[in-house]
Structure 1
Amino acid sequence: MNEYYADLHIHIGRTKSGKAVKITGSKTLTLSNIIAHARDVKGLDIVGIIDCHSPEVLNELEELVAVGEITEHPDGGLKYGTLGILLGTELEINSEETSGLIHVLCFFPTLKKMRLFSEWLKLHLKNIHLSSQRVYVTGKELQKKTKDLDGLFIPAHVFTPFKSLYGKGVKRSLTEVFDPLLIDAIELGLSSDTSMAEQLAELNRYTFLTNSDAHSLAKIAREYQKIAMQEISFKEFSKALKKEDERMVKANYGLDPLLGKYHRTVCANCTAPFSGGGLCEECGHSRFIKGVADRISELKSTDHLLASRPPYIHQVPLEFIPGLGPKLLERLMDHFGTEMAVLHEVPLSALIETVPTKIAELIVKARSGELKVHAGGGGKYGKIIHL
């Protein structure tokens, strides 16, 4: 069995012609830039491009297949040299069953299936060209259509305060909106980890995924997973989510939840820590943004943690390391090839020969979760405070 690093939630910022797809995404976040950067700089083995429903993105993928730069695998998925590409889309649900907005990911095995899904979507949303659009069907209808086209259905960043399943999408349970049997995995999001998510007993049946939700090239692989599969294909990935035939997610690599933008509850006005109820002690404001930790505490239904869960490793992206600016990062890439190599393989002695000792030591400490952090909240990332 082989092991592959995968980040399965990467947005397209602009098409080849310059048309916006993810409006908040970087203009450099084009398909060609993503696949080259993910493979050659980040060192990933698999990426999920989750704006493939957009007609121009589909056209570009089909053109790359036609000229032989990308190939289609017989068991689903695409290959760009050594890099696997999974065809996905992110959509927003807001129907009578929901309490608030919910984002979900749908993946399909082939360009043909994604094209059929895109044609169907045109009938149910306002702008087929843009990312993360609201689809005017129920959650269960979207699940059924996804399954009719042999797709995978995964609720996205499920604890984020805005536009997520447990943020405001449901009051207590995913069964308010979805058929639990038609969910293939759960994406955790930046402000939670396995130990937090497992406090909800209804999630015990699902594989957890940790993805970047990248809106720029630099953010690719800030969260990712290691997956055991025979080879890179849609069929193998589907087996890994179901833990079939020794295929599985072997490890999740993600931010310490304290580094996430929404871990703690903060004042909506000044982002000072806020306990809820009453007024903010800093500015007197009454509104607050509920943090992921407090929301999970409200929903908690079990203390039982599954022994079979893969490890969740608190991985600190290189861009979070204090003092590691663009020039030093470029030096690391020149010496060691990819960020995956630096994060996982390069020994301390080799790092010290390339960057200042203090920074090298921080990189190594980040591997073992030894760095101390200050919690984030209200849309602001946490910070590393151990210097």
Structure 2
Amino acid sequence: MENYYSDLHIHIGRTRSGKPVKITGAKSLTFTNIIEHARNEKGLNIIGIIDCHSPEVILEIAELMETGDVTEHPDGGLQYGDLTIIPGSELEIYDENCHGPIHVLAYFPTLSIMREFSMWLSNHLKNITLSSQRIYVSGRELQLKVKELGGLFIPAHVFTPFKSLFGKGVQKSLTEVFDKRLIDGIELGLSADTVMADQIKELHDYSFVTNSDAHSLKKIAREYHVLQMAAPTFNELEKALKKIDGRKVKANYGLDPLLGKYHQTVCSQCFAPFDPEKGECSNCGSSKFIKGVADRITELKTASISPVHRPPYIHQVPLEFIPGLGPKMLEKLLDHFGTEMAILHEVAIEKLEQIIPAKTAEMIIKAREGKLSLSAGGGGKYGKIAD
């Protein structure tokens, strides 16, 4: 068994010809740019690109396969050198059982199956070229189609106040919308960690994944996980999510929930911390608020401890959050140490101090050890490092 760094939620901002896919995604987020950046600068081993249903993206992948730059593994997944790509799709469900829209992730083993899924999707949504589109079938119908095609189904960023399973999608239980047997994992999102999510007992059977939901190249791997598998393939990924034959999610690396954009409840007008029991904002007097993930999980709480199979969740601050660590300094670090994974996990402080100021090197080590002081985010604004 080997350990593989994985980020399974990366958006495509534009096609190779410049057409939008994820409208809010950066123009530099093309399929080719993503795979080069994820492998060469981030140091990831397996990634999920979740807008591969877009026909022009399918065409770009097919052309890369024709030239031999990308190949298909017999056990599923696309290979770009030593990087494995899992083609996926993010979709929005808002059927008659939902109380609000829910985003979900579907992954497939081969390009031909992704093409078949794309053709099916085109009959059930308005614009097949774009990301995260509303699909006009029920949650359970979508699950059945994904499983018919041999795919994996994972609800996305399940606690985000908007467009998520527990944000507004259901009142109490995922079974209001989905068949629990056809869920392969749960994506936590930036504002929650394992301890928080395991307060909901019905989630105990599922593996948790921490992913970046990257809308730009630099956001790739701001959250990620380590998979223990025999090889970086689709089939092995499925076994890891289902904890089969020693395969598993070995560790989750993510933001401290305080840094997430939706951790605390805030006033929707001035974004000051908001106490719903008081009924109005102590700063501006508004009665409108955005409920934070921490408060929503407290409402749903049905358990107090994590199951024994749950791997460690390691709070980690991405390099871009480190005060004083700008693009030029990061480039210097990458030139010396290769990838962000190496800088975050392996490089000793003495070696860092040879390249960057001692104070910045110390901040990186504190981030690695979870010793930074943080102030909470909420209402769409990230928390901050207080040091």
TM-score, with structure 1 as normaliser: 0.99
Between the aligned partners of 2:62 and 2:117, the Cα distance in structure 1 is 15
Match of 2:298 in 1: 297
Structure 2 Cα separation of the partners of residues 271 and 284 of structure 1: 12
What letter is aligned with 1:293? A
Cα distance in 2, alignment partners of residues 75 and 307 from structure 1: 30
- Report the alpha carbon displacement of residue 306 of structure 1 after superposing the two structures with TM: 1.4
What's 1:223 paired with?
223
In the alignment, the residues of structure 2 paired with residue 110 and residue 327 of structure 1 have an alpha-carbon distance, to the nearest angstrom, of 38
Cα displacement (A) at 1:304:
2.5
Distance 2:131 2:309 in 1: 35
Equivalent residue for 1:83? 83
Counterpart-to-counterpart distance in 1, 2:241 and 2:100 = 27
Q: Name the aligned partner's letter for residue 21 of structure 2.
A: V
> Match for residue 50 of structure 1?
50
Partner amino acid for 1:182? L
Which amino acid letter does the alignment assign opposite residue 152 of structure 1? L
Query: Could you say which residue in structure 2 is the equivalent of 1:204?
Result: 204
Alpha-carbon shift at residue 307 of structure 1 (Å): 2.3
Counterpart in the other structure of 1:194 = 194
**Aligned mates of 1:304, 1:212 — CA distance in 2:** 26
Aligned to 1:366: 367
Matched residue SS, 2:103:
strand
Q: Which amino acid aligns with 1:242?
A: K
Mapping for residues 83-122 of structure 1, pairs under 5 Å: 83-122=83-122
Return the alpha-carbon distance in structure 2 between the equivalents of residues 217 and 204 of structure 1. 32
Give me the whole-angstrom Cα distance separating, in 2, the residues matched to 1:307 and 1:366: 27
> Residue 33 of structure 1 aligns to a residue in which SS?
helix
Any idea what SS the aligned residue of 1:154 has?
strand
CA deviations 1:2-51 (Å, max 9, x no partner) are 11000000000000010000000000011111000000011111110000
Structure 1: unaligned runs, 5 residues or longer? none
In the TM superposition, residue 308 of structure 1 has moved relative to its aligned partner by 2.0
340-349 or 275-284, which deviates more:
275-284
User: Would the aligned equivalents of 2:195 and 2:305 in 1 still touch at CA under 8 Å?
Assistant: no
1:147 aligns with 2:171: no
Shift of 1:282: 0.8
Aligned to 2:334: 333
What is the CA RMSD across the aligned residues, in angstroms? 0.6
Q: What is the alpha-carbon distance in structure 2 between the residues aligned to residue 192 and residue 304 of structure 1?
A: 15
For this pair of structures, how many residues does the alignment match? 386
Deviations 1:149-197 (A, max 9, x none): 0000000000000000000000000000000000000000000000000
Q: Quote the Cα distance in structure 2 between the aligned partners of 1:274 and 1:209.
A: 30
TM-score by length of 2: 0.99
1:199-348 pair list within 5 angstroms: 199-277=199-277, 278-348=279-349
Q: Which stretches in structure 2 are left out of the alignment for 5+ residues?
A: none
Amino acid at match of 2:331: E
Aligned residue identity for 1:54: S
Separation in 1 of the partners of 2:65 and 2:306? 44
- Deviation, 1:200, is 0.1
Q: 2:15: which partner in 1?
A: 15
SS in 2 for 1:86: strand
Aligned to 1:84, what secondary structure does the other structure show?
strand
Matched residue SS, 2:5: strand
> Which residue type is aligned with residue 160 of structure 1?
T
Equivalent position amino acid for 2:153 in 1: F
Cα displacement (A) at 1:201:
0.2
Instruction: Give 1:183's aligned residue.
Output: 183
For 1:39 and 1:286, the matched residues in 2 are separated by 47
Q: For residue 232 of structure 1, report the CA deviation from its aligned partner.
A: 1.1
CA deviation digits over 1:190-221, x for unaligned, max 9? Answer: 00000000000000000000000000001000
Identity %: 68
Structure 2 Cα separation of the partners of residues 249 and 279 of structure 1: 42
